[in-house]
A and B are shown apart, each in its own frame.
Chain A
Amino acid sequence: MKSELIKKIEEADLPEKTKNDLKKYLGDQDISKSQFETILGRIKEEYANTRIEPCEAVGVIAAQSIGEPGTQMTMRTFHYAGVAEINVTLGLPRLIEIMDARKTPSTPTMTIYLAGDYATNRDMAREVSWQIEAAPLHEFGDITTDMLDMRVNVHLNRDVCKKRKITIDEIIDRSPQKIKDKNHYRDFEFEGDSENAIISFMPKDRESYQNLFSLAEHVRKVIVQGIDDIERVVVRKENGEYILYTEGSNLKGVFEVDGVDTSRTRTNNIAEISEVLGIEAGRNAIIDEALSTLREQGIAVDVRHIMLVADMMCIEGEVKQIGRHGIAGEKESVLSRASFEVTVNHLLDAAIANEVDILEGVTENVIVGQPIQLGTGDVKLIAKSRVN
């Protein structure tokens, strides 16, 4: 395409996407100057025509646009596209979960991208996965319960440890500490023998076998390698690079692992994202998650609606729920809150605090029976009569 045309496109007062589209479609076309002028003129005209009008009730439109297709969604939890091994909540329950701003989703998962050589080398990718996947002690050796001496013996398997890139000493150091810190179980003593790769645990109270067995259970399950919250990691090759899919999510922990591409790695836990990466990232996560949930169901919804909901949820600097404990419960207007949920309490509290409802919102005005201040109801101009 001629550079002067490109320049003209660039100069036009149009959004980036439109300019790029235009350049793409005109790319290798042979067009006359007048044709170009017509096209650009039409585009500018159409752009001017698609501006939103003042007073438009965009909130209601957004809510309806997301809510209306809700009835068409499925309830089932589905397999993740491509990864048969990992279950992810989808459909309506997931959408509700997003709008509820739950602290943890019912099926937290992460998609971990790898950086540099880790992304292309299978063994190196596997190594990262071991750093991440929570591995209990029993995977590293045989655990026997010696009832005679009242002790739990762990015979570590050197081959496994070597394969998993963890030293015997590390395990000996880490496992008793983890049992104390994470499992909050302290009534035991231990001996580590790194020569023979044996750790022994003895309950403090050696009167009862029950203590021994519960100790054995703790020993079996103590996580000695990986990140606690991540129960399972699946390595898959997609588009020429290895990607880790996980069950369980811990963004902060994963970011600290070597070889993880922190810029592309993501989790479906919105609260975690907003905590680790900030509210803007949280807002984008809400948009992404909601959009992909809807798209997966084959439902077309304009991004703008979802963006509005996400902005509303994040406007206070933390992710707020859509509903009683979030946005709807913190509105200025008493009448609006009372007509949503927990009617009586809102009225009683309003009386004590001497609240004043200035009747600006929708419900308040419906309640007192006057036109709502949206759309044509918001226009206060009156035409001058031309008749004298």
Chain B
Amino acid sequence: MTSPKRVGKIEFGLLSPKDIRRMSVRKIIWADTYDDDGFPYPQGLMDLHLGVIDPGLRCKTCGNKASECPGHFGHIELAKPVIHVGYTRLIRKLLRVSCRGCGHLLLSPDEVSKVLGPEDERNEDTISEKDIKKERVCPYCGEQQLKINFEKPTTFSEVMTDENGRKIEHKLTPADIRARLEKIPDEDLRLLGINPAVARPEWTLLTVLPVPPVTMRPSIILENGQRSEDDLTHKLVDIIRINQRFKENQDAGAPQLIIEDLWELLQYHVTTYMDNEVAGCPPARHRSGRPLKTISQRLKGKDGRFRGSLSGKRVNFSARTVISPDPNLSIAQVGIPLAIANEMSFPIRVTPFNIDEVRAMVLTGPNRPSLNSPCGANYAIRPDGRRVRLTEQTKENIAEMLEPGWTVDRQLRNNDVVLFNRQPSLHRMSIMAHRIVIMDGKTFRLNPAVCPPYNADFDGDEMNLHVPQTEEARAEAELLCSVTENIMSPRFGGPIIGGIHDHISGIFILTHTLRWFDKSGVLYLLKSSIPENLPEPGKIENGKEYWSNKQVFSMILPDGLNMFYRASSCKNCDKCEHENCERDAYVKIIDGNLICGTIDKKSIGAFDGTILQRIIRTHGLESGRQFVDDVTKLSISGIMYDGFSFGIDDEDLTKIEYGQIDDVLNSAEDDVERRIRIYEEGQLEPMPGRTLEETLEMQIMQVLGKARDRTGDIANRHLGLSNSAVVMAVSGARGSMLNLTQMAGCIGQQAVRGERITRGYEGRTLPHFKKNDRGAPAHGFVRNSYKSGLTPTEFFFHAIGGREGLVDTAVRTSQSGYLQRRMINALQDLKVGYDGTVRTSGGKIIQFKYGEDSTDPAKGCFGDPVDVKGIVESILKKEVA
């Protein structure tokens, strides 16, 4: 539906006073806006020629109503010229490089050639202020030049030397400056990078001020019926008032002093009208004391016109609500509440082929009765473009009138394509196309396996949903943005979607070592993806058929898959035992059958997903999606088969371990004391490049860190795979052995900026300790575990350490956000050409071959263009080194 008309280019230039007068529809002379009856004054700031904002009135220029009238400019004739603040630097430069007598550039043609090169070889370079020596003589008329001083915001002066050799500053009025700039010849301006055809420098001194249309500064009517004017209107009122007074005084022949004061006041108002944040100029304020938001402020910054209104726009056909998980959905689906599906719509054109179907939708009307009933419609658009809302009353009538050529806004129905998004949208996988499933409830439902690309969780996150409104957009969403297309991340060439948390624990428990299930068990596990035929049972005992857990997992693997790798639980032993690994960490898949090994994070997890990666390469993205769906469901069944929970008593150890932990910690604290004594006696050898204190601190940190690790080892000896936390840590589902150590063993040293906690009171961290105590407990060593509970001082130190993490995150998000914005801005125009080069929008070549080998990182295999190992293995069906 794109219009064939394109905006070809946009040219920038200055408005000359003539232009301003020509485009003006009305000269504005009255500072007042509305009269007592609430009617705009003619030739006032709200003159009806400038456009209308009140409904009902008609514009006196174009005759349109408020909604159609684009607004028209007016103008104010200024009593004397004033400087445009934005151009003070340009004016200063021009005054310094041009002759005060004849206006010529202060360089002879020869000197110009010296700077810019001979006339026929010149490029875009221009003369800068530095190319001209100070206080020289004009090469054309021989006039002695004077130094030009500039004082912020808008004062210019010449420095003269009087007969006594004293320096006196002579102020230049805007009129003087204008006269000087007028004298600069066109040819000289070109050398300075100014195009005189569109920007004569004297136009930067305003003699006539354009008055923007009222549509640009609408007044709002407050609840009490009072009118409240826009900031720009306020500013224009000021300008007109002063201008009027200036004129009167001028005509009355007022003394020079008063004229100058008024001139300066007018300059101030025009300055702040353009930019209310100029250095050296107090900002104009509203009656309430708030600085006014004038033209410059409207354009600038994040919520300004450019970034806020032009680069980012608000959209219709979008929805937002809280998200919650539903593991029974496919990863390519999203569950949406009926209320949203009823509100959002997709336009379909009525044709002879679908008229009956559409008529049924219109007859259903805007209120779809239940989840499963066919969708209704919200609006009908007549061939003339008129939009008719469907209601219970009008639907029958409209259904009658329906004929080819109409368009009907149909409600969403199952399997429609929508775009789903979570902010911050840091990468392209933050917006993906899903197919909808209409559900009960009021939240969006999504499969937890698609959380990683969105970086979503369910602690109250909200997400947005957009409905593409044309068939073209739907097709592109489906083909380019669908979840299936985005399983592989272009960041590192691996799957970004995959099992998380319980998916991994579940599949780990299910596939670890060898287990047997009877027929009902197998069918329970595979309930959501039951294969057509069960394979031959692995063993028959007492006439009963049994299948192994590896067989169960193999049923969701596609045929012809051959893989050999080591799982996350692999400890990288010196000598690999392969099939006989005691941890069952050597994974071997032949012809789609899991022979040995445990499936865990490495196999199916998000960011790792070796199996998923291989399936996508050999069987395609769609099979990959199917595998994720199957494996997540199988693992959920697997975890439910045994049950999986974690409670406070899972952190319990026996008396023996507690005794050992105490011993370790006591000896560590003793060791610290001993080292402190050595230090205090002056016996400590400093490490190269470190002071004595630093050496001691490093030693203490080391001793205490080691002690913490040893308590962890003691705890781990007691806790085996029967402990849920260990299962989670080993399988890679969540948490680490360190977390377990801190829960059961010892929390360890709390640090701020990598050092022990030292700040607080004089010579000590807390009044609970002696002054200058360097011992472990006095500087943030927490010897308790989360289970045993912290002492008050330990709790305090723990909070100190925790605070650092919070501050860090807060600082980091803003910094990395800005880095990303800068990078996007610098690189956004780059694209691969049809010749394989990477070019900017101007056609400049950045790379002759993208990435030096033209490989798409999203299609490659962790950076390699071809997964050679995988291909060789799948053909030879054995592991190759």
Contacts and interface: CB of A to CB of B under 8 A. Distances in A.
Contacts of B301: 343
A99 B867 contact: no
Interface string B808-835: 1001110111011011111111111110
B595 to A, nearest CB: 20
Interface stretch (B100-108, B140-148, B195-203, B731-739): B195-203
Interface in B591-642: 607, 617
A308 B827 contact: yes
Contacts of B296: 344
A38 B875 contact: yes
Nearest to B827: A59
B712 to A, nearest CB: 21
A351 B493 CA distance: 45
B855 A304 contact: yes
A54 B490 contact: no
B202 to A, nearest CB: 12
Contact of A57 (B14, B831, B857, B872): B831
Contact of B828 (A63, A68, A323): A63
Contacts of B689: 85-86, 232, 234
A193 interface: no
B854 to A, nearest CB: 5
B855 A51 contact: yes
Interface in B851-875: 851-860, 862-869, 871-872, 875
B385 interface: no
B574 interface: no
A50 to B, nearest CB: 4
Nearest to B698: A84
B829 A18 contact: no
Contacts of A55: 831-832, 834
B12 A59 contact: no
Given A58-B830, A350-B12, A52 B856 contact: yes
Interface stretch (B372-380, B403-411, B841-849): B841-849
A352 B200 CA distance: 8
Nearest to A316: B844
A354 to B, nearest CB: 4
Secondary structure of the B side of the interface?
A: loop
Contacts, number: 339
Interface in A343-388: 343-345, 347-348, 350-364, 366-368, 370-371, 373-376, 378
Contacts of A70: 812, 815-817, 819-820
A374 B839 CA distance: 11
Interface stretch (A71-79, A158-166, A175-183): A71-79
A54 B2 CA distance: 22
Contact of A58 (B10, B812, B831): B831
A358 to B, nearest CB: 5
B819 A67 contact: yes
Interface stretch (A21-29, A138-146, A249-257): A21-29
Contact of B826 (A27, A68, A323, A333): A323
Nearest to B124: A353
Nearest to A15: B853
B752 to A, nearest CB: 10
A327 interface: yes
Contacts of A333: 841
Given A62-B827, A354-B197, A368 B426 contact: no
A315 B820 CA distance: 20
Contact of A61 (B490, B617, B846, B859): B490
Contact of A357 (B10, B310, B815, B871): B10
Contact of A351 (B12, B812, B813): B12
Contact of A353 (B2, B10, B193, B494): B193
B814 to A, nearest CB: 10
Nearest to A20: B868
A125 B482 CA distance: 59
A354 B865 contact: no
Nearest to A75: B808
A305 interface: yes
A190 B12 CA distance: 66
Interface centre among A29, A95, A339 (most CB of B within 10 A): A339
A25 B880 contact: yes
B827 A60 contact: yes
B868 A300 contact: no
Interface in A7-55: 14-15, 17-18, 21-22, 25-27, 29, 31, 35, 38-39, 42-43, 46-47, 49-55
B427 interface: yes
B90 interface: yes
A57 B830 contact: yes
Given A52-B850, A307-B847, A333-B841, A322 B823 contact: yes
Given A344-B86, A355-B12, A378-B831, A66 B881 contact: no
Interface in B104-131: none
Interface centre among B12, B194, B301, B872 (most CB of A within 10 A): B12
A198 interface: no
B304 interface: yes
B11 interface: yes
A223 interface: no
Nearest to B297: A344
A186 B502 CA distance: 74
A348 to B, nearest CB: 4
B428 interface: yes
Contact of A67 (B808, B816, B831, B872): B816
Contact of A56 (B7, B193, B822, B856): B856
Given A302-B492, A315-B846, A76 B860 contact: no
Interface of B: 2, 6-14, 86-87, 90, 193-195, 197-199, 275, 296, 299-301, 304, 306-307, 310-311, 426-428, 476, 480, 490-494, 607, 617, 687-690, 698, 753-754, 808, 811-813, 815-817, 819-820, 822-834, 836, 838, 841-842, 844, 846-847, 850-860, 862-869, 871-872, 875-876, 880-881
Nearest 4 CB-CB pairings of A with B: A67-B820, A59-B830, A70-B816, A304-B851
29 contacts: A21-B864, A22-B872, A25-B872, A27-B881, A29-B872, A43-B866, A52-B832, A52-B855, A57-B828, A58-B832, A60-B828, A64-B427, A65-B490, A65-B857, A67-B824, A74-B812, A76-B808, A302-B857, A303-B863, A304-B851, A305-B857, A336-B825, A345-B86, A352-B193, A352-B199, A353-B12, A366-B311, A370-B2, A373-B841
